[in-house]
Amino acid sequence: MKLVLAIVHDEDGPKVMEELNRNGFSVTKLCSSGGFLKAGNTTLLVGVDEENLDAVIEVIKKKSKSRKQVINSNMTPNGVGGMFIPYPVEVVVGGATIFVLDVDRFEKA
């Protein structure tokens, strides 16, 4: 048995969960936030038999799309005398970060 730990963008979380459920996979949702943009993420836990692992990963990839987003930079430009002037920067957000862990034991009580 495997444990799939997937970190997806908050906007993609419900779509990923719905599609996993539609395909017969149970999902546990955890709220989390990223360290870089401090934005909300959804962390999903999916316990799956090894023969279904690729199907779970394919659903996550299909429903987690990366997108461009404009944010205000937290950096202070050089030569401004220490004054903070936010300026827009385009970054790519979304997609999925997927970890697959071996499960030695599983019980449902």
pLDDT tens-digit series, residues 54-69: 999 999 999 998 777 6
**Which of these, 54, 46, 29, 60, lies nearest to 103 by C-alpha position?**
46
3-state secondary structure of 63: helix
> What mean pLDDT is predicted for residues 44-59?
96
CATH code for 2-102? 3.30.70.120
pTM of the model: 0.74
3-state secondary structure of 11: coil
pLDDT for 9 equals 87
**What are the residue boundaries of the structural domains of the chain, listed by start?**
2-102
Reported as a single tens digit per residue, the pLDDT across 18-33 is 999 999 999 999 988 7
